[in-house]
Amino acid sequence: MPSYKLYYFNVRGFAEVSRLIFAAAGEKFEDIRYEHEHWPEHKAEMPLGQMPVLEVDGVKLPQSAAIARFLAKRFNLAGKDDFEQAQVDAVVDTIYDLVKALLPTLREQDEAKKQELLKKMFAEELPKHLQNLETLAKLYGKGGPFFVGNHLTWADLFFHSFVETLLGMNGTLLDNNPWLKQNRAEVEKNPKIAEYLKTRPKTER
pLDDT, one tens digit per residue, over 55-109 is 999 999 999 999 999 999 999 999 999 999 999 999 999 999 999 999 888 889 9
Give CA–CA dist 165/195, Å, rounded: 19
pLDDT for the residue 106: 85
Reported confidence tier of residue 123, pLDDT bands at 50, 70, 90: very high
29 and 70 assigned to the same domain: yes
Give CA–CA dist 68/73, Å, rounded: 9
63 and 110 assigned to the same domain: no
pLDDT for the residue 1: 85
Q: How many domains are contained in the chain?
A: 2
Q: Say if residue 159's pLDDT is above 90.
A: yes
71 and 92 assigned to the same domain: no
Look over the chain and give the mean of its residue pLDDT values, rounded to a whole number: 96
Give CA–CA dist 204/9, Å, rounded: 12
pLDDT for the residue 186: 98
Task: Flag whether 205 is in a domain.
Answer: no
170 and 87 assigned to the same domain: yes
The DSSP output letter for 8 is E
Task: Flag whether 49 is in a domain.
Answer: yes
Reported confidence tier of residue 204, pLDDT bands at 50, 70, 90: confident
- Least reliable range by pLDDT among 69-73, 130-134, 163-167: 163-167
